[in-house]
Structure 1
Amino acid sequence: MKFNVGEVVSFRKEHPCGEDKWEIMRTGMDFRVKCVGCGRVIMLPRKKFEKNFKERVEE
């Protein structure tokens, strides 16, 4: 799958803050994503990111 920096995506599970939308900050072997709700930044391996990916959010 092809992802771009700046895209907003949603995951299958919600973040503890209650938001399920994440902004992509970095792509490659690892993904850095930022929670749209609380601003928390996490890094995920590509395999885990693609497993948890649900849909692209149109904004």
Structure 2
Amino acid sequence: MIPLNVGDIVRLRKPHPCGSLDWKVMRTGMDFRIQCLGCQHQAWIPRVKLERNLKEILQRVDEK
């Protein structure tokens, strides 16, 4: 299980239809809500699918 926090910026393997690969994590749990940084579209994605499609974590937010 990859530790992701709200506010982290991640890069996925497949591009969004707008062309962006980068997403911001908006909510965590069993399902994640992520926001495309290209067009601001938000989508729900299961944790398993997100972890499988994750290429890299670009920016981490420090959780206190």
Superposition TM-score tier, normalisation by shorter sequence:
over 0.9
RMSD, aligned α-carbons: 1.2
Provide structure 1 residue ranges, at least 5 long, that are not aligned to the other structure. none
Mark the structure with the bigger radius of gyration: 2
Q: TM-score, normalised by structure 2?
A: 0.88
Structure 1 Cα separation of the partners of residues 42 and 35 of structure 2: 4
Identity %: 49
Runs in 1 of length 4+ with deviation above 3 angstroms? none
Structure 2 Cα separation of the partners of residues 52 and 41 of structure 1: 17
Q: TM-score, normalised by structure 1?
A: 0.95
Provide structure 2 residue ranges, at least 5 long, that are not aligned to the other structure. none
